[in-house]
Structure 1
Amino acid sequence: MKIAEGRMGKWLGILSGPILSLIAFVVSYYLDPLNFGGQKELAAIPALLFSIIVLLIGQGINTDLEIRKASMYSGQACEAVKDYLHVIKIGSPEKALQYIIGRMPSLREVDNTSFNIEGEQERASEKYYDTDTYNDSCKQIAYYSSKKLIWKDIGDSWAIDRFREIETASRRLAKGNACHYKYKLIGHKDPQMNFIILEYADDTREVLFNWDFRGIGKDPIVLLSRDHQVIEMFAIHYAQLWKRASFDHDSVATKSTSTK
């Protein structure tokens, strides 16, 4: 019904100009405002000019309405895309890590992955793991996970030493109390996405992704999304990874458990 009405309105807009132009010609011709009298041929000239002017005005108005309508629809489409995606460019991995560090006091749980392949390890170390920002983040993770923050890491063989250091520091800061830092390992070398899901104390969540140094000569730009469906997609993937991964049998937690 709405489609039919829209088509009818479109055709009325197209035909309104010629119809008004024809009416203007007939009225002007018979009223003869320039008093040509019996010379009807001459009276047709101003009538024709007047009808052309009316036609041009009508077409101009119709064109302006169509442009405004198209602009309105375009704006609505852009807003719909923005509202759905909720994707924000954070910047380099180091800048993204600074973003996370600044929010640690208000976080409740963090699910993080740390995967690298041999070809990207050197670049990732130079631009990320060997930076002061990353070293500071490890200290912050250890501190807050020794309190109430639940921090879960999944990584590969490249991440073992880093995970063990964080766990040791977290347990030392906990001073015998519960340590909320946990990690698991995946042994295979298949490439995996790197992402991190942040859950705040007020139940809101966001995911940061596109951390991987896998483009030759091109560093990643980390993206952030607060879209529920996007976050759920990553959360499901993380749950599957956690299920398939295994605990580090040489970790501090495993050793302390086995000696009891």
Structure 2
Amino acid sequence: MTKPLVAVSTDVRQFENYTWHAAPRQYLEAAVSAAGVTPVLVPSFGERLDLEGLIERVDGVMLTGSKTNVDPALYGLEATEENGPYDRDRDATTIPLIRLAIARGVPLLAICRGLQELNVALGGTLDSEIQEMEGRIDHRAPVSDDQDLRFAIRQKVEIKPGTCLAGVFGAGEIMINSVHRQAVGRLGGRLQVEAVAEDGTVEAVSVIDASAFAVGVQWHPEYWAKSDDNSARIFRAFGEAAAAHAAARGRGRIAAE
């Protein structure tokens, strides 16, 4: 009996005289501890990868957050220095991977940049620097070197009744963290809004016609997955979906203790 395998997106980074394809530990820790899955990092090599072969071998896809933004050229706008930085190698990998996961019924959890990738992959657009838009609140992290302060749970969102996340949290308000300056602009055609902030900013979406769990959240549940029940719940829901997918394909799972 084996745990579900989950493909995890990677960022391309330059440091220590190397080019790294990497993912932050918090996402991987939450995948292992809260979702109960085995994460597998997918290098951002775009069309050089056999993504169709990959999607046949995994039981879920998890897209991480990042300091980089999706290239605006992918939704019809011009890339500017102010809107960056970008990671076009990641875009070239995650956008087709998202479409394949949905088409093949592979569970998908998209976090922060991942939600934005999901929206763009399904024909939506993004708004940048939303804190400068009339009627919007500042969704960026507080300026601090203390990561716990930056990722503090401090903002309300409203979970819409009858949605996938209503089944996870119940409908109504929950408290989340907020660390973003971009947000959904025009919603992708196959998406429905799952949760909104007090200023109307889209904070979660799901794929309407997906045959498996396919949810994106703008906040960062990975950061507090060990200590905050709401943060853990979404990983447990994703892990259960991945386990069901594995079982349906005859791979089984390790039973929860």
Higher helix residue share: 1
TM-score of the superposed pair, with normalisation by structure 1: 0.28
Greater strand proportion: 2
TM-score by length of 2: 0.28
Q: RCO (CA 8 Å, sep 6+): is it higher in 1 or 2?
A: 2
